[in-house]
Amino acid sequence: MKFTELNHQILAQILIASPFSAKDRKQSTIKESLLEMKSSPENSLEMEFLKDIFSLNTNEIIDKWYDANDTIVGFFFRDE
């Protein structure tokens, strides 16, 4: 599952800073700001995830990041 590779600290930092980034860029939504943000080698996977959250539909996100055959029960009660 691709989501297990995400660095939660980096993900949180991006999310916490995103309103300020949107304001600095004079953008009306955080979505607009996130979709235009450039990633760096240190945060490329996390940026890809956030951009996907704002641009893909639910099934596409589940297919790409959570393995399509998984369920919410499998997600929370896995043996990893």
For the chain, what is the total number of helices (H) and then of strands (E)? 5, 0
For residue 16, give its domain range.
Answer: 2-76
Query: Quick check: 63 and 3 in contact, CB under 8 A?
Result: no
Q: What is the pTM of this model?
A: 0.80
Please state, in angstroms and rounded to a whole number, the distance separating the CA atoms of residues 16 and 29.
14
pLDDT tens digit string along 18-49?
999 999 999 999 999 999 988 899 999 999 99
In percent, the amount of the chain with pLDDT more than 70 equals 84
Give me 14's structure tokens. 């991006």
Give me 24's structure tokens. 């600095």
What is the total count of domains within the chain? 1
Average pLDDT, the chain: 87
